[in-house]
Homo-oligomer: A and B are copies of this chain.
Amino acid sequence: MNLSPHPSGAKGNSLVRQAMEAVTGHLREQKLRVGDTLPGEGHFAAELGVSRAVMREAFGALAALNVIDVANGRKPRVAAIDGSVIATSLGHAVSTAQVSVAQVWDVRRTLEVRTAALAAENRTEEEAAALLALVDAMAQEAEDLGEVTNLDIAFHTLIAQASRNQLFHQIVSSFSPLMEIAVPAAWRTRETDAERGSVLEHHRDVARAIADRDPESACSAMEKHFASSIGRILASTDA
């Protein structure tokens, strides 16, 4: 076996990659679901005829990619997707200037105009009430930038959740770390009460349209919200 002394780097190591594919193949063939247990490293190492070191690295990479959960001393389990993996890619792409803030906002807008429409069709009563409550809370906390930011992120994430499409939900969630930086920057440019009021009204229009089960109005309110916010974001960054 041609094992390097230092096997880090799943991409560069085809043995590790094959070991990863064997595990994901197992999940698929056995039709495993989130929370189901899977065999440990030893089982796969024996089955594939690879060393424990290779298998350990494959398990580590799959855990990093949120495919499996490997808590210490417990059996490995099938993991639920969450936005953190895409968030890491996204954060990396932005911090190394592979993608600009404006380009991230274009992707967000594209996705969220659709999640607004889907939320209008699929939201529960609780979600409709929670969205309106989040807008009220934003109005009350308008002076507290940190709190407004948290409420703003919660608002967009809840709409994505209410879309009932986990993929939209997780991609939109993955933008949260970037919003933690961009949202306060945008709010700082809104200096007058009138300016802040108009942003709140855009949020309220989105929430109302979703509560009214009106996908078209939800789309166009979200479009308006982004059209006005993107200008602010771009004014506040050198993107």
Number of chain A interface residues as a range? 35 or more
Residues of B within 8 A of A11 (CB): 63-64, 66, 69-70
Residues of B within 8 A of A79 (CB): 92
Cβ-based interface call for A227 (8 A): no
> Which of B56, B104, B114 is the one whose CB lies under 8 Å from A167?
B104
Q: Is the CB of A8 within 8 A of B70?
A: yes
Q: How many copies of this chain are found per oligomer? A: 2
Contact status of A99 and B60, CB under 8 A, knowing A24-B91, A67-B92, A70-B9 = no
Question: Which residues 177-220 of A have a CB within 8 angstroms of B?
Answer: none
Cβ-based interface call for A80 (8 A): yes
Question: Which residues 88-115 of A have a CB within 8 angstroms of B?
Answer: 88-93, 95-99, 103-104, 106-107, 110-111, 114
- The residues of A with any CB-CB pair to B shorter than 8 Å are 4, 6-13, 24, 27-28, 31-34, 41, 56-57, 59-67, 69-73, 78-81, 85-86, 88-93, 95-99, 103-104, 106-107, 110-111, 114, 118, 165-168, 170-171
